[in-house]
Amino acid sequence: MKKNIHPTYHPVVFHDITNGSRLLTRSTKKTGETEVIDGVEHYVIPVSVSASSHPFFTGENTFVDTEGRIEKFNKRFGTQQLRRASKPKLGA
């Protein structure tokens, strides 16, 4: 194996900002914020969604605003009928 080609791993804590849960692991990513846990200094990486807060994994249903999407589409493109070319006339 070649030396000095592999990244260095550091202890990190992924902090879910929506519900406050934390996941201790290792990563190559560093941040300016650190936290000491059990005598080990961990880099803190804030995340907005994790498995502990995502609706798919928690089983919670969320309301999706589909009406707003439809209104936005109609406002942008309108509800006009598409113009079609007239049929060719036979004979004449």
Model pLDDT for residues 27-49, shown as the tens digit of each residue: 999 999 999 999 999 999 998 88
Q: Report if residue 82 sits inside a domain.
A: no
Number of domains within the chain? 1
Q: Report if residue 85 sits inside a domain.
A: no
Domain that holds residue 20: 10-77
Q: Report if residue 83 sits inside a domain.
A: no
pLDDT digits (tens, 9 = 90+) for 48-87: 888 777 766 666 665 556 667 777 877 887 766 656 667 7
Q: Report if residue 91 sits inside a domain.
A: no
Burial of residue 11 (CB within 10 Å: 0-12, 13-18, 19+) is middle
> Hunting for tokens 């928690």 — which residue is that?
58
pLDDT at 42: 95
pLDDT at 4: 87
Q: Are 10 and 21 in contact (CB under 8 A)?
A: no
Q: Report if residue 17 sits inside a domain.
A: yes
Closest C-alpha to 37, from 23, 50, 51:
23
Q: Is 60 helix (H, G, I), strand (E, B) or coil?
A: coil
0.75 surpassed by pTM? no
Q: What is the mean pLDDT of residues 14-20?
A: 88
